[in-house]
């Protein structure tokens, strides 16, 4: 087996700097010689929450997503855009902001790179159990697409079937729901809640 190649960045240029994402063009040394240009979307990362109540129902949101031109069923989720905020705290904040819930027990289900061919976005998917009502955090105001969200509680088994039916297509939701179902049925060892 050949030695691993060192994919060194030979040059990097910022092409676009946006509110949430940026785009850079990297020139990277390739195996066997030569180099190649790679366009990379830099993203702050995100969290998603599989919130399961005591009746094994999962909280789902229906939210409009402009890039796909339609509504998607999703988990409570959000950007890791608060400086220095640990991911678990972001997940707790998003759960309170989007669906006015808190949870007594938290587990890290999985972490995923949604589109590693061009984007560095890492999504941490948490399992939240022991749900209870919670106020929205001070200073939070729902705006834009959040004003049009629908919130439902769906039996986990039904939500998993909706993944296979093609009704749930959001990557974090698909991964989170399947991981939660597997965690329920097989009891795998989960990583510590503060892992990344």
Q: Are residues 50 and 31 in the same domain?
A: no
Return the pLDDT at 1. Answer: 44
Q: Are residues 31 and 124 in the same domain?
A: no
Backbone angles phi, psi at 67, to 5 degrees: -55, -30
Q: Are residues 85 and 108 in the same domain?
A: yes
Q: Are residues 28 and 64 in the same domain?
A: no
Q: Are residues 117 and 26 in the same domain?
A: no
Question: Annotated catalytic sites, by residue?
Answer: 146
Which residues in the chain show pLDDT less than 50? 1
Exposed/middle/buried for residue 129 (C-beta within 10 Å: 0-12, 13-18, 19+) = middle
Q: Are residues 163 and 134 in the same domain?
A: yes
In this predicted model, what pLDDT tens digit does every residue of 33-89 receive, in sequence order? Answer: 899 999 999 999 999 999 999 999 999 999 999 999 999 999 999 999 888 899 999
Q: Are residues 133 and 59 in the same domain?
A: yes
Domain residues for the domain of 17 are 9-42
Query: Is 61 a domain residue?
Result: yes
Q: Are residues 75 and 132 in the same domain?
A: yes
Q: Are residues 72 and 18 in the same domain?
A: no
Q: Are residues 107 and 13 in the same domain?
A: no
Give the total number of structural domains in the chain.
Answer: 2
Query: Is 1 a domain residue?
Result: no
Q: Are residues 172 and 147 in the same domain?
A: yes
Q: Are residues 75 and 122 in the same domain?
A: yes
3-state secondary structure the chain: CCCCCCCCEEEEEEEEECCCCEEEEEEEECCCCCEEEEEEEECCCEEEEEEECCCCEEEEEEEEEHHHCEEEEECCEEECCCCCCCHHHHHHHHHHHHHCEEEEEEEEEEEEECCCCCECCEEEEEEEEEEEECCCCCCCCCCHHHHHCEEEEEEHHHHHHHHHHCCCCCHHHHHHHHHHHHHHHHCCCCECCCCC
């Amino acid at each position: 087996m050949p030695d691993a190649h060192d994919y060194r960045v030979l040059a990097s240029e910022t092409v676009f700097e946006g509110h949430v994402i940026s785009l850079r063009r990297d020139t990277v040394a390739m195996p066997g010689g030569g180099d190649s240009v790679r366009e990379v979307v830099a993203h702050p990362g995100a969290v998603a929450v599989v919130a399961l109540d005591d009746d094994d129902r999962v909280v789902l949101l229906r939210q409009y997503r402009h890039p796909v031109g339609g509504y998607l069923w999703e988990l409570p989720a959000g950007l890791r855009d608060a400086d220095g905020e640990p991911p678990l705290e972001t997940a707790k904040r998003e759960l309170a902001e989007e669906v006015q819930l808190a949870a007594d027990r938290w587990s890290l289900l999985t972490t995923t790179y949604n589109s590693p061919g061009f984007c560095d976005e890492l999504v941490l998917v948490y399992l939240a159990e022991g749900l209870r009502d919670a106020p929205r955090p001070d200073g939070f105001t729902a705006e834009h697409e959040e004003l049009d969200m629908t919130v439902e509680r769906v039996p986990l088994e039904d939500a998993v079937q909706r993944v296979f039916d093609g009704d749930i297509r959001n990557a974090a939701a698909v991964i989170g729901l399947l991981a939660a179902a597997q965690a329920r049925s097989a009891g795998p060892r989960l990583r510590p809640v503060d892992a990344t």
